[in-house]
Structure 1
């Protein structure tokens, strides 16, 4: 068990990650029956489907379930118009997550750049631009989430096959995060790490790599999130 100033680590069921497309109510029942202490919920689906947040929260309380995490509903790697649209909807969805005691979400950092300029100068400029995109957009997302008591975990994709070769490698190991995103730690106190056991292994890193920022920065842990 990880104990910190924020919380105690506890197992939480994410049925969607296991390939199960279940309604929220069924997810709660399954989590309880399987002995999980917490449950992750698809907040955007619940809100868009007109789900009753109070009813769901009451059932969570009845079952003794803690709120876990929820998927970040922002397509921040796309064009600016799509990002602005999703960011504008985030406060409503973050408020819904808070009502369900879901206090954490996460997203993955680009493992490679979208383009592959060949000259050294163009390559450096492109890498810097992608770094700035991460800083600006993830910072904006973190600020909105902070207003609703939610934390944002950053996941590094360590699997080599995730890099297509169409771009230059960007962040492929946790050890590379600070080079491009280090300034975010002070700007966004609610920002942290999403630790994925498989990606740690694939990148050749140990658990200590995810703890270099301190245990309080561990927002979310993935142990088995593929069907």
Structure 2
């Protein structure tokens, strides 16, 4: 009976050693290749600060304009951002091509830019912004483009004290330009703080305040345009 007992114990223990058989760990999956970020497109037409005369006349008030830009690297689609500089209305149109046709109001100033996008990444690249007049009925002299590229920038926080307000201006006819600067703590601003023939104006601002400012551009023929309302705040 002792011999039987010994063999029985050995039979119960052996499987513990023979069934361990752990294999190698599974190979981790290869990481997904990183999608390169797109690069910015270069605008071609309509030309910057020029009159667009190549549109297809649709009616007395509208024409069809073809926007063109260069292809950019690592890009799958393009979004054209269009702004009516007289009303402030904005729109966007997306295409896989490097051109797109849009219906525009005649005799109206616009700005446009192109954003490049790629599948598989959230990164984008923006072109420069161009401005143009869509041709309308013949006029002797065009109004200037509304002031753009402001400083302080929209939503920027700056220190109180004496600052230099700055902006850019352009005129299709090449007329001399002057500017009227409005600054207020309410929107729209109604207080004129100065007039200048340059693209800047010095003023003193208080601390911990939200300011709204706007520029009226006047050309030598008496035509004028009004910028959008810019906003910034000062630190406490």
Give the structure-2-normalised TM-score: 0.25
- Which protein has the bigger strand share? 2
- Which protein has the bigger helix share? 1
For the pair shown, the structure with the greater C-alpha radius of gyration is 2
